Amino acid sequence: MGEFEDHVKRAEHYLLGKNWVLAEQSISAADALRPLSLEVRELRDSLNGGRVPAWHFRMLNDQRRNRTYKEAIRRVVEAAEDGDDPIETVLDIGTGTGLLAMYAADCPGVQQVMACEANPTMADIAKEAVRENGKEAKVID
């Protein structure tokens, strides 16, 4: 067995044991040897799929749920704006991908959105999503 195959086998072993750090290291080592390898790409997909809870995908694809949340956030912010205590800062605890934080950032009157996420992979995804969508939200992990 060659060096590339050794890294692939180690990565597979670490993925099965949910040792994400060592799996990433083995995948990176294999990638350095064969950057365009289908095996490396599949390992990366497995790594990312294992670190992102599956229910996130169902939620993101539920358009009815997303529209309902977007409308609810907008209504709460607008109702507060009509009262004595407008909402200027929003805190999204457990932001996941940052979708709801971005909805809040779109609301008139909201000046600051803070999004917290304990899962480091999800926090990175949220940071990238916020940046890619040009939103003003700070994601904290």
> Cβ contacts of residue 120 below 8 Å, gap of 6+?
141
For residue 136, what pLDDT is reported?
Answer: 82
Which pLDDT score is estimated for 47? Answer: 81
Q: Which domains does the chain have, with CATH numbers?
A: 3-51 (no CATH), 57-140 (3.40.50.150)
37 contacts 107 by C-beta, under 8 angstroms? no
SS3 label, residue 89: strand
Q: Which residues make beta-bridge pairs with 93?
A: 116
Q: Give the pLDDT score at 120.
A: 84
DSSP secondary structure code for residue 112 in this structure: E
User: What's the pLDDT score for residue 54?
Assistant: 65
Could you give the CA distance from residue 12 to residue 41 in angstroms, rounded to a whole number? 13
Q: Would you write out the chain's pLDDT as a tens digit for each of its 141 residues? A: 799 999 999 999 988 888 888 888 999 999 999 988 988 888 888 887 777 776 777 888 899 999 999 999 999 999 998 877 889 999 999 999 999 999 999 999 999 999 999 888 888 889 988 998 998 888 987
Angle 122-119-124 from CA coordinates, rounded to 5°: 35
pLDDT at 26: 92
Return the pLDDT at 82: 82
pTM score of the predicted model: 0.65
